[in-house]
Structure 1
Amino acid sequence: MRILFLGYWGLHDGLTTSTVFPHLRILQQRPDVAAVRLVTIERGTDAQAELVFAPGFAADKISFKPLRSRPGRNVILNKIEDFTRFPQELINQVAEFKPDFILARGAPAGALAYLVWKKTKTPFYVESFEPHADYMLESGVWRRYDPRYLFQRHWEQKQKQLARGLMPVAENYRDQLIAEGVPATQIITVPCSVSLSAFAPDPARRSQVRQQLGFAVDALVGIYVGKFGDIYYDEEAFDLFKAAAAHFGPRFRLIVLTPDPAAEVRAKLAAVGLGDNHSFVTKAPHAEVPAYLAAADFAFAPIRPAACRRFCSPIKVGEYWASGLPVLLTAGVGDDSDIIEREGGGAIFTLVQPESVPAAIQRIAAIVEQPNYRQLIIGLAARHRSIQRAEQAYENFFGGLLPA
């Protein structure tokens, strides 16, 4: 079979590296897959750059052809163009590549796949299917009468009706989709997968990174990976860091890996008493994240609460677990909050109940005192975030689709 794999991020985006590439490798290994074309959406400087597809893929099986935004246009115009110019470019790619179906990563990519279906009737599947329109609305990024919200919400309804298969990232959303009338046979939950081998704790890397950062052997190190604002807490996250520092005392250190401006983040950390002697801030490529996680003892996931958060699967939580780190997580996030309360692997807090914050930090402190806590938490990643979940879903959806 021939598959057009449609992502919604650039080739060098961390989400492409962490969520798209592992699934391309699964498809590459399938004997019934003759060819896969990866399509990304390139913006900014990468839109004009000569892009070199990552090594590790068989050139005779995986090809690459990006969609490129026009230069010198603002973000809103670029987003509008995503759904005006890009569908026709994808239709041209379908005519040239002749895929048996489109596999879209995420609901915005699924919207493009639907628009191609309208013209060509090319079947499509959507993995990492989430209520993206509601995410953006509840995060305050879009307004209820914003055309982007109205169109995306409409296109998500069409995906539910017309996709050959949906792969939500949380059982909570699978249940919701079934309640909305989507046939259960067309839905398989595939949480955001992580590589257990890539993120496995490494004592040598732990020691090396701590030495580089000037952290003592007995330092108690927390880590946060990601942006501030939008679906994540901003000022509240720094208050959370401050509360952890107050609990753990002088030996507490913090690592922040973020694409946000480092100077701004450092200033906010200094304002809560975590200056350069007690914290480290950098923007790290995804390949370097496991080493920093190895240097940590626990992790933060301060995700802003909203009704639709029950349907998400933050990749960072899976990576934290695969590194053996307990997670300080907001209540009501995907299946992960329920997993933590049921099986361990961290502690849950909610700012609506301020007393839950010190209680959650105390829970983290108790976990990191256990001698074997890392291996127990890695077990959570193996059960709930293994790449085998995606392999199984592909086999169920594609296994009998075409002869090998």
Structure 2
Amino acid sequence: MNILYIGYWSVYEGLSEASIRPALAVLNQFEAVQNIVYVSIERNVAKAECNWKLDKVIHKPFYSPYKSFFRDKIRDFNVLPKQLILLCREWHFDKIICRGAPAGALGYLIWQKTKIPFIVESFEPHSSYMAASGVWKRWDIRYLIQKYYEYKQIRTAETLITVSNSYKDYLVNTYGNSNIVVIPCVVDGESFQFSNRARNELRRKMKISHEAVVGIYVGKFGGLYYDDVAFNLFKNFIEQQNVYLIILTPQEKTELYALLSKHHIDLKMVFITNVPHYTVKDYLSVADFGFCLHRRTRWSMAFSPIKNGEYWANGLPIIMSTQIGDDSTIIEEVKGGGKVVDFEEYISDEDFLEIKQIIKDYNIDRINNVSNQLAKKYRSIENLTRVYKQVINKL
């Protein structure tokens, strides 16, 4: 069996490392799979190389340099499908797997011409996310194009894999689909396991006391994520006694320092950097809890933040907003894994006292606490393997 796997991001993107690499590693283990041709879309590099060392995976970067939205979309949905169809004729693919709804649009366009069955994993209402968060308007051509292709995927994909049960239920109730399975975004639990050595070494280098309560945020600000609301939350946190904040983000430091200053947050209490994905685990080990800053909207029930799985795998409790995928419900129902609060309201001292007690309880055993157990139950790679076996067996 030959599989075409389409990602919509550069191979160098953190999302590719965190989500596409584990998926390819699972497929690489199946005896029935002979070759996996992985297509990445490269915008800003002249030459892209995949060094994931998976023997059945052949990386085919497609170059689509960023110029303007209209040129990009014409190229993405006109030129790229033609190139991918030629690739299909060369490799005689049995199945196409697309990561996310933007990649799923390419899968649909290929299916139109070839009728090769396609699967969309991490299928989400991308257009609705962008509109609800204020990034796109509902009359915006970007919204209309993406919305159209999402509908086509719902109607024609062999299988849709959503990342939350809440969104699956919505699709079933709205469209009557029976071709939907759920798999939250998985993480390699061993790779993100807590390291006491990393905790001690980095705390010493960063001059953070052993007793300090350290919060960490991994990700971006704005769009799908809170920005001003996030920094109000950080301000509430920094005002507590003996605390420190770590932010791991690809965004420009100057932009974030301006937001910290705007919210009167002491810069000496904050460390901002961007690190390779494989070193994130060390900074998680330094921390005592993680912030999840996905913006709550009508459509946020469809989220499954990868960072939540990474936090949990490291034994970290999470502070997160209500209605974020299935995770908010999991935390509230099992009374563990963190604390759910309304980010758009003031977080009280009592809330932080409760968070500190959770931290104290969880730090007793960071390798086998409630968060770690949640990672094993909901975010393990074994879950992805199980779903992929179902997908492969449909042939």
Aligned-pair distance for 1:307? 0.5
Q: Which amino acid aligns with 1:349?
A: V
1:113-124 pair list within 5 angstroms:
113-124=107-118
Deviates more, 1:286-295 or 1:210-219: 210-219
Question: Is residue 366 of structure 2 the alignment partner of residue 369 of structure 1?
Answer: no
Percent identity between matched residues is: 39
1:1-400 pair list within 5 angstroms:
1-44=1-44, 46=45, 48=46, 50-58=47-55, 61-70=56-65, 73-184=67-178, 186-246=179-239, 248-249=240-241, 251-343=242-334, 344-352=336-344, 354-355=345-346, 358-370=349-361, 371-372=363-364, 374=366, 375-399=369-393
TM-score (norm 2): 0.95
Deviates more, 1:329-338 or 1:171-180: 171-180
Does the 8 Å CA contact 1:349/1:357 hold for their aligned counterparts? Answer: no
Q: 1:93 to 1:238 in 2, by over 3 A?
A: same
- Return the alpha-carbon distance in structure 2 between the equivalents of residues 37 and 291 of structure 1: 32
Does the 8 Å CA contact 2:233/2:343 hold for their aligned counterparts? Answer: no
TM-score (norm 1): 0.93
Does the 8 Å CA contact 1:346/1:363 hold for their aligned counterparts? Answer: no
Aligned-pair distance for 1:76? 4.5
Where in structure 1 do 4 or more consecutive aligned residues deviate above 4 Å? 355-359
- Return the alpha-carbon distance in structure 2 between the equivalents of residues 392 and 296 of structure 1: 32
Q: Which amino acid aligns with 1:399?
A: N
> Gaps (5+ residues) in structure 1?
none
Q: 1:360 to 1:110 in 2, by over 3 A?
A: farther
CA RMSD of aligned residues (A): 1.6
CA deviation vs aligned residue, 1:157-185 (integer Å, no higher than 9, x gap): 1111111111000000111111123433x
- Return the alpha-carbon distance in structure 2 between the equivalents of residues 164 and 319 of structure 1: 30
CA deviation vs aligned residue, 1:47-75 (integer Å, no higher than 9, x gap): x2x222113211xx21011111146x124
Does the 8 Å CA contact 2:42/2:65 hold for their aligned counterparts? Answer: no
Aligned-pair distance for 1:358? 4.5
Q: 1:151 to 1:75 in 2, by over 3 A?
A: closer
Aligned-pair distance for 1:400? 5.0
> Gaps (5+ residues) in structure 2?
none
CA deviation vs aligned residue, 1:222-264 (integer Å, no higher than 9, x gap): 0011111001111111110110122x31x10110001111122
